[in-house]
C-alpha cells in the first residue's frame, strides 16, 4: 500500500513536471527547493476534472455563504500573508474565503479555493503562525493531494469490495485483509499530512518568517487542549503515535519533526506579530465572543492568556475575560468577572454593554443595589437598545 | 420460528405508532414535553418522534427544517437544554438555579453553537412578558448553521418556574417561511399554560 501511494505521488509529480512549468523564483538555497509551479493549471484526467468540478460547486456555496466574513480588508490581508509565505507567483491563482467558524482550521480544495476559519485567526499570535497553517494547506494543493487521496481511497475501497465478494464466493473470512487495506487509507492520509507539513516548512523558511514557527503552532494547540481538559477535570492525553483511524499525525509528533527539520534551515526573520495584532483588532471582540460561548473555560482562558502574553491585557481582552467568568457563573466567578469589567473600563473599554454585563454579574451575585446602578448607566447610554425593555424590567423589580 | 416472527411483527406494528411522528389535533393538549406544559392549538401540528432530550418536544407544520416549535418543559438545575452528544468534548452549559431571566437567551445561544454547529447567532430584541402568569422573557434572534448556511430567524418565550426552565421557541428560514407561520406560533404560544 505504501509503495502504491508513493507511486501515486511520483505520478502526480511527474505529470506536473511535464506541464511546461516555470522554474521557482525563490528558494535557491539547498534543502529549500520548491516544486515546479505552473500558472492557470487545468485538470488533465477524468478523475482530476471530477475533483475540480466538485470543488467548483463547493466554492460557489462558500462564496455566497452567510458565514463568510465580508468586511473589506480581511480576505485581502489573508492573501497578503499567503503571498508573503508562498511567493507572489504561487498565490496568484488562489481565492481566499474567511469563514466565521470558531474551530482551528484552514483548508484548500483542488481548484485553488482556500477557506480560513475565524478560530484559526483568533488563535494565531503572529503573521508567521497564520502563514505556517496557510502554507501547509497550500502544500496540499501544490502536491495535488485531493486527487491522489481520492484515487487512493477509490483503489482501496474497490479492493475491499472485490476481496469481500471473493470471500463470500469462497465462503472464507476476508475481514483481516480488508482491515489492513482500510488501515492503509488512514495511513495514506497521515503521510499526506506529513508531506504537506514538510513542504509548508520549506515555504516558511524561504519566506522570511521564522522557520521555527510551524512547530510552535502545534505546541500552542497542545497547550490549549491540555488547558481545555484541565478546565473540564479531564486528563490531558497528548500522544506521539497516531491511532489506527487517525487521518492526521498527532500534534506532538508534528511539533517534534517540524522542530527537527526547522533546525536544519535558515532561522528566518520577523514573525510580524505587531502587524498581525493590528490587522485582527477590529475582529477580535467578535471572535472572542463566539469562543466564550463554546463552554470551554480552560481552553478559552488559555487563548486569552496566550494573546495577552504577546500583547498585554488590552481592554478587549479584559472584557472578554470578564465575560468568560460571568458565563461560568459560580459565585466566585461573578465576583472575579465584576473585577475584570472594572479593569477593562479603567483600561479604556468604552462600549455601553460593559455596564449592562457588569450590572447583570452583580445582580446575579446578589449585589442588587450596585447592579441596578450599572444597569441604569447602561440604559442611560443606550436607551434604544434591543434589550432595553427587558433590562428596565429587571431594574424595576 | 414462523410464529415467533409473526408475533414479533405484530408486536412491532403495535409499538410503531408510539415511536412515529404523530398528528396534534386542535384542542387541549396536556403534558407537553413530559412536563406541566399544556397548550390548546387551534389548528393542526405534527409532533416529531425525534427526542432531543427528556423534556424536549418538537412540533412542526412542514418539517423541522422549515418551521419548528420546540418545547423545553421544566429543565431542572444542573441539566442541559438538550441531551449532550459528546459529554466529554462538547459539554453543554447547564441550567443553574441562580440564573437571571436574561441568561435564557444566552443559554440557548451557547447550546446551539456547541450542539448544532451554529456559528453565527444574534439575539435581537429582549422584552418582559408573562408565561401563564409567571414573569418571562420574550426574545427574537437570527442564526445560521455551519452545515447548511441557511439564515434562520427565531422567536421564543421563556421563564423560570420553581427553579426549572420552561422555554418555547419558534424557528424557520428567514426567507419566506418565518413570516408565513409566525402568527400560527404566536396563537399557539398565547394558549400555553403551566
Can you count the helices (H) and strands (E) in chain B? Answer: 3, 10
Residue pLDDT tens, chain A, 397 long: 344 344 343 334 333 333 334 444 454 566 677 777 777 778 888 888 888 899 899 999 999 999 999 987 899 999 999 999 988 888 888 999 999 999 999 999 888 899 999 999 999 999 999 999 999 999 888 888 877 777 777 888 888 888 888 888 888 888 877 777 777 777 777 788 888 888 888 888 888 899 888 888 888 888 898 899 989 888 877 776 666 667 677 888 888 888 888 888 888 788 899 999 999 999 999 999 999 999 999 999 999 999 999 889 999 999 999 999 999 999 999 999 999 999 999 999 999 999 999 999 999 999 999 999 999 999 999 999 999 999 999 999 7
Adjacent-strand bridge partners of B170: B69, B155
The C-alpha angle with vertex B166 and arms to B160 and B167, in degrees rounded to 5, equals 120
Q: d(Cα B115, Cα B143) in Å, to the nearest integer?
A: 14
User: Quick check: A394 contacting B, CB < 8 Å?
Assistant: yes
> Does pTM surpass 0.95?
no
pLDDT one-digit tens code per residue, B112-151: 999 999 999 999 999 999 998 899 999 999 999 988 889 9
Tell me the shortest Cα–Cα distance from A393 to chain B, in angstroms: 7
Adjacent-strand bridge partners of B75: B165
Q: d(Cα A354, Cα A347) in Å, to the nearest integer?
A: 12
Residue listed under C-alpha cell 449592562: A356
Structure confidence at residue B55 (pLDDT): 92
Of A266 and B6, the structure prediction assigns the larger pLDDT to A266
Chain B residue nearest residue A397, CA to CA: B135
Cβ count near A48 (within 10 Å) = 21
User: Quick check: B104 contacting A, CB < 8 Å?
Assistant: no
Give me the residue from A101, A360, A391 closest to B119, CB to CB. A101
Q: A87 — phi, psi (to 5°)?
A: 100, 145
Q: d(Cα A283, Cα A99) in Å, to the nearest integer?
A: 12
The C-alpha angle with vertex A95 and arms to A89 and A101, in degrees rounded to 5, equals 135
Tell me the shortest Cα–Cα distance from A61 to chain B, in angstroms: 9
User: Quick check: A393 contacting B, CB < 8 Å?
Assistant: yes
Chain B residue nearest residue A357, CA to CA: B102
Chain A residue nearest residue B148, CA to CA: A65
| Contact call for residues A32 and A265 (beta carbons, < 8 A) | yes
Q: Is B40 helix (H, G, I), strand (E, B) or coil?
A: coil
| Contact call for residues B164 and B76 (beta carbons, < 8 A) | yes
Nearest C-alpha neighbor of A126 from the set A328, A25, A269: A269
Q: Is B148 helix (H, G, I), strand (E, B) or coil?
A: coil
| Contact call for residues A374 and A359 (beta carbons, < 8 A) | yes
Q: d(Cα A254, Cα A251) in Å, to the nearest integer?
A: 5
Q: d(Cα A257, Cα A241) in Å, to the nearest integer?
A: 13
Give me the residue from B88, B92, B125 closest to A386, CB to CB. B125
Size of interface A-B (CB pairs under 8 A): 77
The C-alpha angle with vertex A236 and arms to A184 and A107, in degrees rounded to 5, equals 50
Structure confidence at residue A28 (pLDDT): 53
- The verdict on a CB contact (< 8 Å) between B120 and A363 is no
Structure confidence at residue A378 (pLDDT): 97
pLDDT-derived band at B3 (thresholds 50, 70, 90) equals: low
What 8-state DSSP symbol labels residue A243? P
- The verdict on a CB contact (< 8 Å) between A67 and B127 is no
Q: Which residues of B touch A100 (CB under 8 A)?
A: 119-120
Tell me the shortest Cα–Cα distance from B41 to chain A, in angstroms: 28
Q: Which of A61, A62, A64, A66 to mutate to test the interface with B (most CBs of B within 10 A)?
A: A66
Q: d(Cα A388, Cα A384) in Å, to the nearest integer?
A: 6
Q: d(Cα B72, Cα B132) in Å, to the nearest integer?
A: 15
Q: Which residues of A touch B139 (CB under 8 A)?
A: 390
Q: d(Cα A255, Cα A265) in Å, to the nearest integer?
A: 15
Q: d(Cα A250, Cα A358) in Å, to the nearest integer?
A: 41
| Contact call for residues A262 and A203 (beta carbons, < 8 A) | no
User: Quick check: A233 contacting B, CB < 8 Å?
Assistant: no
Q: Which residues of A touch B92 (CB under 8 A)?
A: 295
Q: d(Cα A97, Cα A79) in Å, to the nearest integer?
A: 10
- The verdict on a CB contact (< 8 Å) between B119 and A67 is yes
| Contact call for residues A295 and B114 (beta carbons, < 8 A) | yes
User: For chain B, what's the residue count?
Assistant: 194
Burial class (CB in 10 A: 0-12, 13-18, 19+), A202: buried
User: Quick check: B114 contacting A, CB < 8 Å?
Assistant: yes
Give me the residue from B128, B144, B149 closest to A390, CB to CB. B128
End-to-end CA distance of chain A: 71
| C-alpha cell of residue A375 | 444597569
| C-alpha cell of residue A162 | 472485490
Q: Which residues of A touch B101 (CB under 8 A)?
A: 390, 394
Q: Which residues of B touch A234 (CB under 8 A)?
A: 88
The C-alpha angle with vertex A112 and arms to A108 and A118, in degrees rounded to 5, equals 40
Cβ count near B10 (within 10 Å) = 10
Give me the residue from A61, A290, A394 closest to B102, CB to CB. A394
Phi-psi region for residue B29, left (φ > 0), alpha (ψ -120 to 50) or beta? beta
- What is chain B's mean pLDDT, rounded? 88
| C-alpha cell of residue A45 | 484526467
Q: d(Cα A230, Cα A222) in Å, to the nearest integer?
A: 12
Residue B9 has pLDDT above 70, yes or no: no
Rounded mean pLDDT, B48-66: 91
Q: A234 — phi, psi (to 5°)?
A: -115, 160
Cβ count near A314 (within 10 Å) = 18
Q: d(Cα B48, Cα A262) in Å, to the nearest integer?
A: 56
| Contact call for residues A258 and A214 (beta carbons, < 8 A) | yes
pLDDT one-digit tens code per residue, B81-102: 999 998 888 999 999 989 999 9
Q: d(Cα A111, Cα A126) in Å, to the nearest integer?
A: 28
| Contact call for residues A276 and A123 (beta carbons, < 8 A) | no
Tell me the shortest Cα–Cα distance from B137 to chain A, in angstroms: 7
ipTM value for the complex: 0.86
**Range list of H helices, chain A:** 2-17, 46-63, 74-86, 88-91, 118-123, 127-142, 145-170, 175-207, 213-231, 251-263, 273-280, 284-292, 297-311, 315-328, 331-347, 353-364, 368-381, 388-396
324-353 in A: which are within 8 Å (CB) of B? 327, 329
Q: Which residues contact B5 (CB under 8 A, 6 or more apart)?
A: none
Structure confidence at residue A12 (pLDDT): 40
Tell me the shortest Cα–Cα distance from A97 to chain B, in angstroms: 14
Amino acid at each position: 500500500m505504501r509503495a502504491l501511494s508513493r507511486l501515486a505521488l511520483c505520478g502526480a509529480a511527474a505529470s506536473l513536471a511535464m506541464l511546461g512549468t516555470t522554474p521557482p523564483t525563490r528558494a535557491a538555497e539547498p534543502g529549500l527547493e520548491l516544486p515546479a509551479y505552473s500558472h492557470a493549471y487545468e485538470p488533465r484526467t477524468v478523475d482530476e476534472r471530477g475533483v475540480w468540478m466538485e470543488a467548483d460547486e463547493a466554492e460557489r456555496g462558500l462564496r455566497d455563504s452567510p458565514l463568510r466574513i465580508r468586511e473589506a480588508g480581511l480576505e485581502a490581508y489573508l492573501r497578503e500573508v499567503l503571498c508573503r509565505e508562498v511567493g507572489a507567483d504561487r498565490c496568484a491563482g488562489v481565492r481566499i474565503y474567511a469563514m466565521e467558524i470558531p474551530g482551528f482550521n484552514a483548508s484548500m480544495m483542488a481548484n485553488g479555493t482556500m477557506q480560513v476559519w475565524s478560530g484559526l485567526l483568533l488563535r494565531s499570535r503572529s503573521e508567521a503562525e497564520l502563514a505556517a497553517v496557510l502554507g501547509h494547506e497550500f502544500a496540499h494543493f501544490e502536491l495535488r493531494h485531493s486527487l491522489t487521496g481520492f484515487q487512493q481511497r477509490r483503489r482501496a475501497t474497490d479492493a475491499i469490495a472485490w476481496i469481500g465478494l471473493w470471500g463470500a464466493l469462497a465462503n472464507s473470512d476476508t475481514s483481516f485483509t480488508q482491515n489492513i487495506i482500510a488501515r492503509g487509507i488512514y495511513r495514506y492520509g497521515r503521510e499526506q499530512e506529513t508531506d504537506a507539513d514538510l513542504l509548508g516548512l520549506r515555504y516558511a523558511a524561504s519566506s522570511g518568517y521564522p522557520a521555527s514557527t510551524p512547530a510552535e503552532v502545534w505546541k500552542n494547540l497542545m497547550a490549549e487542549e491540555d488547558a481545555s481538559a484541565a478546565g473540564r477535570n479531564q486528563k490531558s492525553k497528548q500522544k506521539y503515535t497516531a491511532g489506527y483511524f487517525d487521518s492526521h499525525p498527532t500534534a506532538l509528533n508534528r511539533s517534534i519533526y517540524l522542530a527537527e527539520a526547522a533546525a536544519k534551515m535558515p532561522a528566518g526573520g520577523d514573525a510580524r506579530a505587531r502587524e498581525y495584532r493590528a490587522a485582527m483588532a477590529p475582529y477580535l471582540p467578535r471572535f472572542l465572543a463566539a469562543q466564550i460561548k463554546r463552554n470551554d473555560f480552560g481552553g478559552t482562558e488559555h487563548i486569552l492568556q496566550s494573546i495577552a502574553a504577546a500583547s498585554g491585557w488590552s481592554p478587549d481582552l479584559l472584557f472578554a475575560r470578564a465575560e468568560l467568568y460571568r458565563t461560568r457563573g459560580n459565585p466566585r466567578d461573578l465576583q472575579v468577572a465584576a473585577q475584570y469589567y472594572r479593569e477593562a473600563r479603567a483600561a479604556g473599554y468604552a462600549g455601553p454593554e460593559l455596564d449592562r454585563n457588569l450590572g447583570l454579574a452583580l445582580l446575579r451575585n446578589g449585589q442588587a443595589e450596585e447592579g441596578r446602578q450599572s444597569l441604569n448607566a447602561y440604559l442611560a447610554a443606550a436607551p434604544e437598545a434591543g434589550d432595553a425593555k427587558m433590562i428596565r424590567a429587571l431594574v424595576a423589580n | 420460528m414462523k410464529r415467533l416472527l409473526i408475533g414479533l411483527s405484530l408486536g412491532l406494528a403495535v409499538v410503531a405508532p408510539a415511536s412515529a411522528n404523530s398528528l396534534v389535533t386542535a384542542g387541549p393538549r396536556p403534558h407537553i414535553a413530559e412536563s406541566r406544559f399544556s397548550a390548546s392549538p387551534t389548528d393542526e401540528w405534527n409532533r416529531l418522534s425525534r427526542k432531543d432530550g427528556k423534556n424536549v418536544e418538537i412540533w412542526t407544520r412542514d418539517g423541522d427544517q422549515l418551521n419548528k416549535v420546540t418545547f423545553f418543559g421544566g429543565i431542572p438545575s444542573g441539566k442541559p437544554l438538550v441531551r449532550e452528544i459528546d459529554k466529554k468534548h462538547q459539554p453543554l452549559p447547564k441550567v443553574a438555579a441562580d440564573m437571571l431571566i436574561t441568561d435564557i437567551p444566552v443559554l440557548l445561544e451557547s447550546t446551539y453553537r456547541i450542539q448544532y454547529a451554529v456559528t453565527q447567532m444574534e439575539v435581537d430584541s429582549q422584552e418582559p412578558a408573562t408565561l401563564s402568569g409567571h414573569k418571562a422573557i420574550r426574545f427574537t434572534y437570527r442564526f445560521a448553521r455551519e452545515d447548511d448556511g441557511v439564515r434562520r430567524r427565531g422567536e421564543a418565550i421563556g421563564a423560570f418556574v420553581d427553579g426549572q426552565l420552561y422555554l418555547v421557541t419558534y424557528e424557520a428560514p428567514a426567507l419566506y417561511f418565518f413570516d408565513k407561520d409566525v402568527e400560527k406560533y404566536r396563537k399557539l404560544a398565547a394558549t400555553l399554560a403551566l
